[in-house]
Chain A
Amino acid sequence: MSELSPFLPGTRVQYAWDSTSLSWFKECPRKYQYFMIEGWRGIHENVHIRFGGLYHEALESYDRHRFEGLDHDEALALVVHDALRKTWDNGAPWVSERPDKNRENLIRSIIWYCDHFLEDSAQTVRLANGKPAVELSFKMELDWRVRGQPYLLCGHLDRVVNFIGGAYVMDRKTTSSTIGGNFFDQYDPDNQMSLYSLAAKVIYKTPVKGVIIDGVQIAVGFSRFSRGFTYRTEAQLEEWLNDTRSWLALAEQYATAGHWPMNDKSCHHYGGCPFRKVCSKSPEVRGTFLESDFHKVPWNPLVPR
């Protein structure tokens, strides 16, 4: 069965959005064009994405196993075995280009996280269908439309937990930096956390108090964990939704014009945009540089994880 497109048929007008595509658009319309409209990705492995993805998968599986009744050791053995298998590339262990985010430190971080939070007060919510609130993909239809099609906001919640008598969305983040208040500053305001707060309230009909961010600092010789909280008031969520409406209208405008302008004040954020070396070239040769350093792997917010 073919995947449903996040774009209106025969257009580049996107109606299904997630926090990733919305972030690309907010950062730089040209970045959004390259990533979302044209589907370019770097041909070299992104270590951060692979490491983060494996770490997330392992902890989600651990949460699920524990919810289903396995004890700590049983659940941990299963997820470690799975992570080892997923980092076995063509008959050899995964060789990472980084000394911190590599196979050994992935396994260490999974084990240490599960040990560190063994007596955690945060417990996975049981959904109305009896299943654990882990790996929850959502699609939320908005009240406004684009050319007759309602907009959809989509995403994926790692976990919803009960903590001190309230429900929280839980998200896990990996970083190479020291985690303190300054690390958690970046999540308020933040596109992803606002969307998650909204989605949990609307879709799961749970009076969610906020989002818990379990951060792990991955260093060469250790993994260190800290937990931060971020909250959104009803007025803040309403403001975020209203702003989103403006952003999506702008995206439709650019798609109609077939032109996504470059935000040249955003190129150096977050360690540098991967398309910086393309955008720095003259327009007539950019296509050549894209084709030599990137390949096409379309991003689709409608595909559940």
Chain B
Amino acid sequence: MTEYELPHPIREFSVEVHGGLTWLDVHIQGIRLYFPIPDARRVKDVQLVLRYKDISDAEA
């Protein structure tokens, strides 16, 4: 199980597998981000938890 906190809500994401490494591909505020998914060798193995962290609230 891989968990990530993201700085902004997302509408969609994709998962890419390359040479044994698996990547979560998301667009956030116009920036394309690639996060590794270390425990998944195949797309169908991916178990992912994504959370949106409101940074302004967290810092307050």
Binding site for B on A (CB under 8 A): 116-117, 119-121, 163-165, 180-182, 184-185, 188, 225-231
Contacts and interface: CB of A to CB of B under 8 A. Distances in A.
Given A165-B5, A182-B18, A182-B19, A116 B34 contact: no
Interface residues of B, number: 24
B21 interface: yes
A214 B36 CA distance: 15
Contacts of A185: 18-19, 21
Contact of A230 (B7, B17, B29, B36): B36
Interface of B: 5-8, 16-19, 21-23, 25, 29-36, 38, 53, 55, 58
8 contacts: A163-B7, A164-B6, A180-B16, A180-B25, A182-B19, A227-B31, A227-B33, A229-B33
A27 B29 CA distance: 39
Main secondary structure of the interface of A (DSSP, over half): mixed
A117 B58 contact: no
A181 B23 CA distance: 6
Given A165-B53, A181-B18, A182-B19, A117 B31 contact: yes
B32 A226 contact: yes
Contacts of A184: 21, 23, 34, 36
